[in-house]
Amino acid sequence: MVTVRVPASTTNLGPGFDALGLALALYNEISLIPTNADRVTVEVAGEGPADPSFPRDEHNLVYRAAERVYAACGETAPAMRIVLWNQVPLARGLGSSSTAIIVGLFGANLLLGEPLDAEALLRIAVEMEGHPDNVTPALLGGLQVTSHAEGRLTHLRLPTPAGLRIVVCIPEVAISTTDARRALPERVPHADAVFNVGRVALLLAALTQDRLELLGAAMEDRLHQPYRARLLPGFEAALIAARDAGAAGACLSGSGSTLLALATERTEEIGAAMTDALAAAGVAARALTLGVDDRGAIPLPDERE
């Protein structure tokens, strides 16, 4: 038996579309317990147990990821009892599928005696997820710059300002990644691409040099947020409300529906401002204030049965 903790993650941070990912101090803890049974069982507590689409058998993403590690090592995965304690909400742009993939890979690797290194696990994770921006911080922690092109995966961890807090506003409205991708145009104006290149450069400089006063401009985006805004009533009003309440910058988390703001103070006021703005548009939401997770996936003591 192994128990693994994996952080939630947010991506893009505004302009860094499919390139930036940040691990958040919000966690899923999952135990993998090999059994002699003839089937896989999945038990869920916290986020997700009421969702009828959540697989409770060998089709669960955690087990499918575990199978990939066993196969890479020339082994057949045993039946397992999988126990999940989920804090990361589903379909909200906080990397829930990435946590499942990482915990399955990381946990199976532990069960096998760690034959694969982190880079090998990451390559499998990217193959499963299709892009590296969520799975990289989920596995390795921190702020990650990622690139995956022509079969080549590159990633680099950057520092974040001390005391940085992430205020997430999580609506009750779910947005699937498929719907969020479908909202994007096939082509964007050249001027918008140039705009985003400049904003990403400014964002990374501001974060690594503790220039938080620049984040308001640095987190602006023209590649995905304007097209996804229609999927969440109150979207623009909530981002404006966050900045007016004291946030250094605000954006959509991943493909949504969660919104996030970066700040070092007034976090409760910022969260309340975003939830109130969404409520005025008819969308219920809750706010959490989180830190940056610096560790990524880690094993936990096997204290639960």
Neighbours of 279 (CB within 10 A): 14
Please report the pLDDT score of residue 15 as a whole number: 97
Return the sign of the alpha-carbon dihedral for residues 59, 133, 248, 228. negative
Percent of the chain's residues with pLDDT above 90 = 86
Give residues with Cβ within 8 angstroms of 270, minimum separation 6: 167, 242, 245, 246, 247, 261, 263, 287
Angle of helix 61-72 relative to helix 118-129, nearest 10 degrees, comes to 130
Domain ranges in the chain are 2-158+293-300, 165-290
| CA–CA dist 85, 48 (Å, integer) | 10
Percent of the chain's residues with pLDDT above 70 = 96
Return the sign of the alpha-carbon dihedral for residues 112, 9, 302, 77. negative
Please report the pLDDT score of residue 151 as a whole number: 81
Asked if 178 contacts 228 with a C-beta cutoff of 8 angstroms, the reply is no
DSSP state for residue 245 in the 8-state scheme? T
DSSP E strands: which ranges in the chain? 2-12, 16-34, 41-46, 80-86, 143-149, 152-158, 165-171, 249-252, 259-263, 285-290, 298-300
> 232 φ, ψ to 5°?
-135, 105
For residue 4, give the 3-state DSSP assignment.
strand
Fold agreement (2-158+293-300, 165-290): no
Q: Hunting for tokens 């082509």 — which residue is that? A: 187
Q: How confident is the model at residue 150 (pLDDT cuts 50, 70, 90)?
A: confident
Please report the pLDDT score of residue 51 as a whole number: 66
> What pairs with residue 259 in β-bridges?
169, 252
| CA–CA dist 188, 32 (Å, integer) | 44
DSSP state for residue 89 in the 8-state scheme? P
Q: What is the pLDDT of residues 210-259, one digit of tens each?
A: 999 999 999 999 999 999 999 999 999 999 999 999 999 999 999 889 99
Q: What is the pLDDT of residues 52-107, one digit of tens each?
A: 677 888 999 999 999 999 999 999 999 999 999 999 998 899 999 999 999 999 99
CATH for 165-290, options being 3.55.40.20, 3.30.70.890, 3.40.50.11540, 3.60.21.10: 3.30.70.890
CATH for 2-158+293-300, options being 3.90.650.10, 3.40.1190.20, 3.40.50.620, 3.30.230.10: 3.30.230.10
| CA–CA dist 131, 16 (Å, integer) | 13
Q: Which amino acid is at 212?
A: L
What is the distance in angstroms between the CA of the first residue and the CA of the last residue of the chain? Answer: 9
| CA–CA dist 82, 41 (Å, integer) | 6
